[in-house]
Amino acid sequence: MDEHLNPATATAPWAPRSALVLGASRGIGLALVRQYREAGLAVTATARDEAGLARLQALGARALKLDVTQTTSAAGLAWQLDGEAFDAVWFAAGVYGPNTRGLQAPTAADFDAVMRTNVLGAMLVMPQLVDALAPGARVALLSSRMGSIGARTHSGGWLYRASKAALNSVLADLALAWQGRALCVAVHPGWVRTDMGGPEADLEVDHSAADLRALLAGLVPDAHGGFFDHSGARLPW
């Protein structure tokens, strides 16, 4: 594990009591909710449709309806969280878009769908959370190794790659703005067997979610503003 993520090097153990998971109707977001609830945390989570809200409520989470791509929906989040103080915050909303293998130009509709969810969503929602952060809060944006420019070896899925590179830029600005307020990181969850990752992926969703929770708990202050693999390794931008 990367030295920046070794809990033994932290000045004090960090154990969250409450969590907010944005984009939790399925996949990794839903697994995070389930695992945090099993650990006894108070969890608030968002979904954009009734089926997703029902899944969250069945886990005992406080479920809020939120479409991260819609300005009016995002603008209403702050008042719904009035009085809350979250220790752990996850932005897990995301879509893949077209599964291109080369430089195939995306349609305007595909571009808008991917960029609005993966990038604009975070830019609309995260500013709404500043007053809902507990002292010492930790914030993670679910990015992807595919968004790394330094580690890139091929151009498949280039629209998704571009969106995650842009999300990493959002994280860098968030880390500057919230310096001293929250410890902020971008994280790669691995290639996970979800609707997005497909059945051939390397990791079960519960494995990834458990790794991500451990990663967040093990961060030390100089990890702020960094980009990490679910296993703890620092990734190049």
Q: What is the DSSP string of 101-168?
A: SS-PPPPHHHHHHHHIIIIIHHHHHGGGGGGGEEEEEEEEEE--GGG-STT----TTHHHHHHHHHHH
Locate the domains of the chain by residue range. 3-229
- Cα–Cα distance measured from residue 31 to residue 118, given in angstroms and rounded to the nearest whole number: 19
- Predicted confidence at residue 201, as pLDDT, reads 58
pLDDT exceeds cutoff 70 at 8: no
Q: What is the pLDDT of residues 37-76, one digit of tens each?
A: 999 999 999 999 999 999 999 999 999 999 999 999 999 9
pTM attached to this predicted model: 0.92
Task: Tell me the fold of 3-229.
Answer: Rossmann fold (3.40.50)
Higher local confidence (pLDDT), 200 or 213: 213
Mean pLDDT over 177-200 rounds to 82
Cβ-based neighbour number of residue 199 at 10 Å: 6
**pLDDT range class, residue 10, cuts 50, 70, 90:** very low
